[in-house]
Chains A and B, each alone.
Chain A
Amino acid sequence: MGETADDARLIEVVEQFAAARGDAADERWAWSAMWRLMGADVAPVEVRGVLEEALRLTEQSQESPQELYGDVDAWARELVQQWRSEGRLVLAPDERVGLRDVAVDGFASAAWLNLLVMAVLLVRDGGTTYYTAGLLVLPIGLAMTALAILAVWPRVLRRRPAPVAVAAASVVCLAGTALMAGAFWLGHGRPVVSGGTGWLCVLSAAYALLSVVCDRVLPRREPIALTASLDDEEWERALAGVLRERAGLPESRVQSIVAEAGTHAAASGGSLEREFGRPEAYAARFAPDSAARHRRAAWLFAALAGLSAVSAFGAESTWSGLALTAIFGVLAGCEALRLRRGRAARR
């Protein structure tokens, strides 16, 4: 609730830039600034503070933010670097996808995917189609598998090195794919029933209803408390988790940072929390390894493209599988391009 209110107030400030001098370019500058700062994990409330100051200055001086602050990219980069060194950034653990979300969002996504499948079938088969087991399982299988991967990945990464998290996510991915492939294989050439394509609307409505029921019935997660005091062992575990999950640092660096904090605290005689502050704030002082993030995303999309290509041959509508393969392929290419650009920029 608090986050939503913060977001809404931030957007309000950004939109006020258009009226500051009556120039729409100022609002575009503010949007760019907002996305760049949010992309660097700056909390919405901090972004709002800095944009409010920029808005005041723009109104008073009647100069454009571009003239006042220079290139938005360079300005945001410098500001983030300064805040990082001052310890003003916090990398809160990402727990947006929990088991409750897998059920609620999984059924909701399945409802939409089912409508997409219906649209494809209406174009391909017209008003009547053959319902096979594979066709019925595909939307719910895809939605649940994707959500389960999103839930498993950060959870494992917070506690174990990246290769273990990759293995866990791969197991979930393979289990989901095997389930869908099995349904296609069993139902191939053996339609469950032949009927109106529009009946898929009823299935979508059932998924939507299940999503609402899960939302009402399943208990909501407690927000992560960042105020509770941590002993040294908990602190080390939390720091390693945030460095892996949010900063994307390789395991060797994670272990080195954690061990060095331990030796420093032992020498100073203080607790890790007293000496280094909250692990989430301490982790934010290290520049994230964006190359590792892009590399992982490129591999993930490449794996999904591979799986889509394999499943395309099992499905009856091969072209939709190939379309998915192309989409994941393009996403993998984009991530590889970002990785290359990042490397070139560092040289």
Chain B
Amino acid sequence: MNDDEPRWPAAWVRASLELGVLGALAQGSLHGYAIAQELAGRGFGLLKGGSLYPLLNRLEETGDLRAAWVEGQSGPGRREYTITEAGRARWRRDLLAWQQLGEELAALGQHDREGAQHG
């Protein structure tokens, strides 16, 4: 499947984008376009800069990320993003909450309500 196309509905991608960005940076620092490519490889579709950078900016303002301009070997420099300790703690906490949400959603369809009430 083409990485440019998202695997999930746009609303899901929007809702989980912060967590996706924090996760992409959990393994090491990346610049904006590399984050977009990392997320595209995970089924988010190739994000437009118009969606990505305002989010990176917000995460920087909340102290979850820090950013610095890094000189490029050829061509212009790039702004590289690094996850902070606070960002890493938030990523773990939010990831756990999403996993619990997924489990609850799965359990909703599997439980026999009548049986659960009587048994």
Binding site for B on A (CB under 8 A): 84-87, 256-257, 259-268, 275-277, 281-282, 285-287
Interface string of B35-53 (1 = CB under 8 A from A): 0100000000000111111
User: Would you call A266 and B49 a contact (CB within 8 A)?
Assistant: no
Residues of A within 8 A of B53 (CB): 257, 260-261, 264
Q: How far is the CA of A160 from the CA of B50 in the complex (A)?
A: 24
Interface positions, chain B 1-37, Cβ under 8 Å from A, are 14, 31-33, 36
* In-complex Cβ contact of A265 among B49, B52, B79 (8 A): B49
Q: How far is the CA of A84 from the CA of B50 in the complex (A)?
A: 11
Q: Check B75 for interface membership: any CB of A closer than 8 A.
A: yes
A276 touches B79 (CB 8 A): no
A275 & B49 in contact (Cβ 8 Å cutoff) = yes
Task: Please classify the interface of chain A as helix (H, G, I), strand (E, B), loop, or mixed, using the class held by over half of its residues.
Answer: helix
Closest to B77 in A: A263
Question: What is the count of residue pairs linking A and B with beta-carbon distances less than 8 angstroms?
Answer: 55
Known contacts A85-B55, A264-B32, A277 near B50 by CB under 8 Å: yes
Given A85-B14, A261-B49, residue A266 in contact with residue B55 (CB < 8 A): no
Report the nearest A residue to B46, measured CB to CB. A268
A276 & B75 in contact (Cβ 8 Å cutoff): no
Question: Is the CB–CB distance between A86 and B14 below 8 Å?
Answer: yes
Residue numbers in B under 8 Å from A87 (CB-CB): 50-51
Say whether A257 contacts B57, CB under 8 Å.
yes
Select A286's contact among B33, B49, B54, beta carbons within 8 Å.
B54
CA distance A8 to B48 in the complex (A): 37
Q: Assess the A286–B32 pair: CB atoms within 8 A.
A: no
